[in-house]
Amino acid sequence: MRVLVGVTGGIAAYKVAIVVRRLTEQGHNVRVIPTRASLEFVGQATWEALTGHKATPDTFEDVPDVAHVRLGQGADVILVAPATADFLAQLASGEARELLGNAVLSARGKIIVAPAMHTEMWANPATQANVATLRSRGIHVIEPDVGRLTGKDSGPGRLPEPEVLVSAVTSVAEEAPLSDTRPHWDDLHGLRVLVTAGGTREYLDPVRFLGNRSTGHQGCALAEAARERGADVHLIAANVALPSGEGVRRTDVETGAEFAAATREAAKEADVVIMAAAVADYRPAEPSATKLKKSGGELESLALVPTEDVLRGLVESRSPSHTIVGFAAETGDDAADAHAYAQSKAKRKGADLLCFNQVGSDQGFGDVPNAVTMFDSGGHHVGHAAGSKLAVAHAIWDQVVALRADAGV
């Protein structure tokens, strides 16, 4: 498929580099037309390196080949992302100030625009009138996401995540309806939310500890998504190097005991608790006050004792209006697969929702896409989500909102 990607002058242009990469990896012939303003955010060399084609904003650079018309005529699908308010106005008026405008006006194939701008600009009656005009002409308009914008602002106007844009190109090419999975703005307004993230450390001595590979990416994404949707968010971070978003209260802890104490106290004020942190199941029975010396022989034994089951304790002491979500990072073995272990844990823990993700050497941990399967307290499958950590976070919050609505809270 021949895909023409137009990039206009918004900071979200950086996301489109991922879109272009994904489309080329799928085997599509992709060409980028940037506007001059967009080159302030992502340079021409980036687009040319990703696509293997020239990426110029200049209408007159390739006059003998009539590029300003040929590019639009030859594309099966044109995606403009991000589409600024100014570009939407140009397109609605039939203007062609640069090469991109000429190409879109010459298009014979399908056209998709993905607006991205500040909330006030998106809500402005002029912008909304332009969007309505474009839709009336058969142009597909992807509604912007709700989330963090430039600076400290947050609201409707954020460019959807790359996987959403890639999916939109495929759907339009196949004449399938565009799916709308965006969260509802402000649907968590007034809720007090507690999210835990990261992994605890259980010290053997002042230097060494038992730990896990959790980085806190998914937990921080859950906190950010909740804040974007209007919640009052408290994040308990266990050894997390990531920054927390603007407006998120944060408590940092190290050990399982510190985690348990902080979580129990914070949960008293929370309407929803999401336990995304990986808490150690065991700790050394007698940590050494001094560094253990290597004597040359094997360590004969290491006595461990169970740590507190914080999730189970919260479930047992909760009020009817509380919603509690747990996480299960599992691997399979000879006895059962990871899915079966997660179902068993869902029944055993009794949380309203248990999010299971299979982990291994190359999946689950860190700044990589994630996939979760959601179970209710009876171990029944109630949902699935995959994609970026933020996309998965919003899907989990969608499920929480639905659960609370069903429960009448």
Q: Which CATH number fits domain 2-173: 3.40.50.300, 3.40.50.1950, 3.10.20.30, 3.40.50.720?
A: 3.40.50.1950
Q: Confirm whether 2-173 and 192-281+303-407 share one CATH topology.
A: yes
Could you tell me if 155 and 184 are in contact, meaning their C-beta atoms sit under 8 angstroms apart? no
∠ CA(388), CA(113), CA(21), 5° rounding? 45
Question: Measured in whole angstroms, how far is the alpha carbon of residue 193 from the centre of its chain?
Answer: 18
Q: How far is CA 53 from CA 1, 56, 264, 395, in A?
A: 15, 10, 57, 37
Q: Which residues contact 128 (CB under 8 A, 6 or more apart)?
A: 122
Burial class (CB in 10 A: 0-12, 13-18, 19+), 396: buried
| CATH number given to 192-281+303-407 | 3.40.50.10300
- Residues 365-374: contacts with CB under 8 Å, at least 24 apart: 365/213, 365/214, 365/215, 366/213, 366/215, 366/217, 367/215, 367/217, 370/218, 372/396, 373/339, 373/342, 374/399
Helix, coil or strand: residue 29: strand
Spatial CA neighbour of 11 closest among 155, 168, 157, 110:
157
Spatial CA neighbour of 207 closest among 281, 294, 147, 146:
294
Give residue 216's identity as a one-letter amino acid code: G
Q: What is the pLDDT along the chain (409 residues), one digit of tens a residue?
A: 999 999 999 999 999 999 999 999 999 999 999 999 999 999 999 999 999 999 999 887 666 555 668 888 889 999 999 999 999 999 999 999 999 999 999 999 999 999 999 989 998 999 999 999 999 999 999 988 877 777 777 778 889 989 889 999 998 988 766 655 555 567 898 899 999 999 999 999 999 999 888 899 999 999 988 988 889 999 999 999 988 877 899 999 999 999 999 999 999 999 999 999 999 889 999 898 988 887 766 666 889 999 999 999 999 998 889 999 999 887 778 777 888 888 998 999 999 999 998 775 455 576 677 889 999 999 999 999 888 888 889 899 999 999 999 888 8
Domain boundaries along the sequence of the chain: 2-173, 192-281+303-407
The single-letter DSSP state of residue 53 is S
The pTM of the full predicted model, rounded to 2 decimals, is 0.64
> SS3 for 151-166, per residue?
CCCEEEEECCCHHHHH
Any idea which residues carry the catalytic annotation?
Answer: 212
Looking at 229-370, list the stretches that DSSP marks H as alpha helix, in order from N- to C-terminal side: 256-267, 310-317, 338-349
Spatial CA neighbour of 308 closest among 284, 265, 279:
279
